[in-house]
Homo-oligomer: A and B are copies of this chain.
Amino acid sequence: MPTIAIIAPGNMGAAVARRLTHAGARVVTSLAGRSQASRDRARDAGMEDVGEEALAAADTILSILPPGDAEALARRLAPILARADTRPLYADCNAVSPETVGRIGGIVASAGCPFVDVGIIGGPPKDNSSGPAFYASGEAARRLEALRDLGIDIRVLPKPVGAASALKMSYSGITKGLTALGAAMMLAAHEAGVAEDLTSELDESQPVLADWLKRQVPRMYGKAYRWDGEMEEIASFAGRERGSGIIYTGAARLYREIAEDLRGEREQIAALDEVISRIA
């Protein structure tokens, strides 16, 4: 059975680890400086804390982090990987732009390790489903197929590093972008005193979108702090100087505002909950 290193044991990382350990794999991580919540998630998922130096002994390293932390991890691990006896496969599974993943791939290559660009589409693995999909691109992508036997839905794109990230960006740009639009317009309608009129018109003429937003907007609150960075990566992917890029710069700021509200007054959260409760 292979040894897989997963950094870090966040919601996605720990759920992936849990699926791998259930399939019999050994999953290692480093808990140095991590919160008690991360330690608890790691323990529940059957992960072993081996420290950063020992991560290099794994067969595969999966980097699963908030997008803003992805490059820093590669920079921190590079010297460790460079002086190790083994050369693990390094898969960056983060929601970053093709440009960012290109830089990360360069750092990993300079440490002598094979590199795979991975875009995860779908929520964290659950016991009753086969998802999420791990799209993989780059010359070493096929090597990740070994994880299929451990219950991970690996989908190789026969394309260079950057393709898997581009797919992730464009997919998230639509889904998490729509969540941002819904939240933005629900808040504006609420402030203007027309929330009930908006939800009744949406129910009547856009029932499919109303239903989608009713499910997705509340799930976003606790992730907004993380989606901020993802929207910034999408802005860069789409071209910051273009209309597309400006849309996602705005979405990043919206998610920052909601994340701040969640930690503070919770006024926007309360308004969103009220509007959503009116959707049929």
Contact = CB atoms under 8 A, between A and B. Distances in A.
A209 B206 CA distance: 12
B254 A174 contact: no
A201 interface: yes
B174 A182 contact: yes
Contacts of A251: 243, 247
Contacts of A167: 189, 194, 197-198, 201
Interface string A57-101: 000000000000000000000000000000000000000001000
B212 A188 contact: no
Interface stretch (A15-23, A104-112, A157-165): A157-165
Given A178-B209, A247-B254, A257-B242, A171 B198 contact: yes
B185 A166 contact: no
Interface size, A (range):
35 or more
Tell me how many chains of this kind the complex includes. Answer: 2
A249 B254 CA distance: 13
Contact of A163 (B157, B193, B209): B193
A197 B135 contact: yes
A246 B242 contact: no
A140 interface: no
Contacts of A244: 184-185, 187-188, 250, 254
B243 A255 contact: yes
Given A163-B192, A192-B163, A249-B246, A174 B212 contact: no
A254 B177 CA distance: 15
Given A163-B197, A173-B185, A181-B178, A250 B249 contact: yes
A167 to B, nearest CB: 5
8 contacts: A162-B192, A163-B197, A170-B192, A188-B238, A192-B237, A243-B253, A243-B255, A243-B256
Given A188-B239, A243-B257, 11 more contacts: A163-B194, A163-B197, A170-B189, A170-B192, A171-B198, A171-B202, A174-B209, A175-B206, A184-B238, A188-B238, A242-B257
